[in-house]
Amino acid sequence: MNTVLTSARVPLPRATGAWQEGDPPGRRQWYAHEAPLELEAGGELAGVRLAFETWGRLAPDASNAVLVLHALTGDSHVAGPSAPGHPTPGWWDGLVGPGRALDTDHWFVVAPNVLGGCQGSTGPASLAPGGRRWGGAFPFLTQRDQVAAEAHLADALGIDRWALVAGGSMGGMRALEWAVSRPERTGALLLLATTAAASAEQIAWATVQLHAIRSDPYWQDGHYHGTGRGPATGLAQARRLAHVTYRSEQELHTRFGRLPQEAEDPWDGGRYRVESYLDHHAAKLVRRFDAGSYVVLSEAMNSHDIGRGRGGVRGALRRVTAPTLVAAVGSDRLYPPSQQRELAAGIPTADAVRVIDSPYGHDGFLIEDEQVAGLVDALLSHPEDRRRPRPGDVSGASPGPAEG
């Protein structure tokens, strides 16, 4: 039997930025899967819980459900202000709500915190069977494991088929896995700035970040929870490295150039403005994330290969039956548009890749709300018009900018 849980108080010292039992629950609900979850790499994970948030009301026939899947350091808080229990505002706040692209007067939007995450779902900072924190003993996960947990959540909510599954970056990996492994449950598919399989360069960038975390003397083989001191320095350095890949050279040059940070002198121990910017984002992440989850989720992303055991990428993509839009960010250097072109070419129900015009690099899919809203609208409001773009709608943007 599966249940939706409420929060219970279990004190834990702040060696981590994870949401912990006893913290304000905010808008979260919890789903508990009482049977152990079998894992792709072998073994099983017992005591699985997923934190999730919902907006809108589920229709009696459950036909209006939309699944939104977050990226690496995202969480279930897609919409709404920062508040007790939610350290940051909703990461797609401009898309979810009354009158917005995901109009909650019509659609029932569900956003889970990914399995292995740290904002309420089971992950390294969670209690393992026996009462100790998982820490470094948390098992290796893949996107297939994470989607299996999300499918159990859908079952518990009474949702047999999603009207739309949408995600970008790591969320796009899981959205694609939904459409390939469960085509009968995926009504439409929106893939943003993602890939069919992690590339060598993406694995390389992630590996550098993982080394930064594991090199921190407070990493303690992942068993730092409850010690009072976690690998904050290593996690901060991982975030600095990652954030450079999330943004474009053009944006960094335009915003910061070679200017010093206010009155600081880089020739005398001070920082450049771009250094201050990276420090700021590093400090923000350390306050709201868990280093163990960063490792588990990064390794899951490195393992991503939609074609594994399915006859290769081309064979796997041919399994998708949902109307699909694939969008690239033209300035993305981490998930370059060539990867989205491969997806669009291989998915039988997709047409030419769309291009989000943005100077912000990979993060453009999180920033360019109006352009992403046009894609959502094309799938949900006008599915019959997907191949007949309307003037000014990003859903009809020429693939030209992504070709060069």
Residue with tokens 């897609």: 78
Identified catalytic residue from 76, 169, 298, 358? 169
Residue 43 backbone class (left: φ over 0; alpha: ψ -120 to 50; beta: rest): left
Query: Residue 46 carries which DSSP code?
Result: -
Query: Residue 385 carries which DSSP code?
Result: G
CA distances in angstroms from 91 to 34, 69, 74, 193, 353, listed in the order given: 30, 11, 7, 16, 24
Q: Which residues pair with 23 in a beta bridge?
A: 21
Of the candidates 309, 344, 379, the one whose C-alpha atom is nearest the C-alpha of residue 164 is: 379
- The answer to whether 111 and 384 have CB atoms below 8 angstroms apart is no
- Run of H or E including 313: helix 312-317
Q: Is 303 a catalytic site residue?
A: no
Residue with tokens 């797609």: 92
Q: Which residues pair with 21 in a beta bridge?
A: 23
Distance in angstroms (rounded) separating the CA atoms of residues 208 and 154: 35
Q: Is 169 a catalytic site residue?
A: yes
Identified catalytic residue from 103, 145, 305, 332? 332
Residue with tokens 């459409």: 179
Directed axis angle between helix 291-302 and helix 232-246, to 10°?
Answer: 40
Find the distance separating the first CA and the last CA of the chain, reported in whole Å.
Answer: 53
Identified catalytic residue from 126, 362, 377, 395? 362
Q: Is 338 a catalytic site residue?
A: no
- The answer to whether 380 and 163 have CB atoms below 8 angstroms apart is yes
Residues involved in catalysis: 169, 332, 362
